[in-house]
Amino acid sequence: MDELDYNTCNATFRSLTDQQRLMVEETSRLIGADADLELTSYGCGFGMFELELIARVPRRTVWFQGVDTNGEAVERLRSELAGLPKVRGHRVFTASMADVADLRITPTEYGLFVQSLCYLGADEGMAVVKEARNRHRRLIVAVTPLNRLNGPFAESLARQGVVRPLFAQTLAEELTRFGIEFRTVTVGAEIAVPVSEPAHRLLEFLTFARHQPWLGGTSRAELLDAVAELGTVSAGHVRIPHPVEVFGIG
């Protein structure tokens, strides 16, 4: 997938699930009400989650810092943030969160990893987590467990040489191994794909779910069959479990 396809397919995928809304609610609850918030998001992308969190978190203003390797996404997020009255300042870098020694990253109260830590293997990822703990009072990590739905993503990470990516089970093992205290909440989200969904959206959904260009049949019936294999069909929808674990560290 090139970057544009990734973003389009990711947007379609996310529009069919309540996962983001439920994650925002849980993260907002963990952050809680107060006057001002300082937040750093590692792997912020173009801020699909972060912009919703900023809008909904019960804080008067937000100072936002973000890091992502995707320069186009960073540009897009910068321009979105510039238009938000609630954001009293922001800095977004095109950089890898693996560059843990990047001194441009300012300490903030909260450090956030939303669906991003799993791009890193356990060794590199835990080095990032440990460094981030020095910069932030509290870390919030939202990551899915490794399951049938994200198996193809895990396979693509393996092909890129990522060893033991930090999906929820591995992250819990690693935090325990290093004696880092954490609490988790399981957000019981699901994906509901209407069987009436147009073919181009089914194709975008499958491309993102398979994490590679869709190689199967592309008639509407074939696409729907492939989606139906991922879940159970009821009341005009294919329903696919899509849980996420929200870790509070510190």
Ligand X SMILES: C[S@@+](CC[C@H](N)C(=O)[O-])C[C@H]1O[C@@H](n2cnc3c(N)ncnc32)[C@H](O)[C@@H]1O
Interface with ligand X (CB under 6 A): 41, 43-45, 48-49, 67-70, 73, 96-98, 114-116, 119
Question: What dihedral angle (degrees, nearest 10) is formed by the CA atoms of 187, 17, 225, 218?
Answer: -140
Residue number, 45 or 111, with CB nearest to ligand X: 45
Give me the least distance between CB of 180 and ligand X, in Å please. 20
Contact between 171 and 141 (Cβ < 8 Å): yes
Give me the least distance between CB of 234 and ligand X, in Å please. 28
Q: Where are the beta strands (DSSP E) in 2-134?
A: 34-42, 59-68, 87-94, 108-114
Alpha-carbon distance of 221 to 190, in angstroms, equals 22
Residue number, 119 or 167, with CB nearest to ligand X: 119
Give me the least distance between CB of 174 and ligand X, in Å please. 17
Other C-beta atoms closer than 10 Å to the C-beta of 28 total: 17
Give me the least distance between CB of 15 and ligand X, in Å please. 13
Residue number, 205 or 224, with CB nearest to ligand X: 205
Instruction: Tokens for 223, please give them.
Output: 């696409």
- Ramachandran category for residue 38: left, alpha or beta (phi over 0 → left; psi -120 to 50 → alpha): beta
Residue number, 44 or 249, with CB nearest to ligand X: 44
Contact between 132 and 125 (Cβ < 8 Å): no
Residue number, 31 or 114, with CB nearest to ligand X: 114
Contact between 216 and 222 (Cβ < 8 Å): yes
Give me the least distance between CB of 24 and ligand X, in Å please. 10
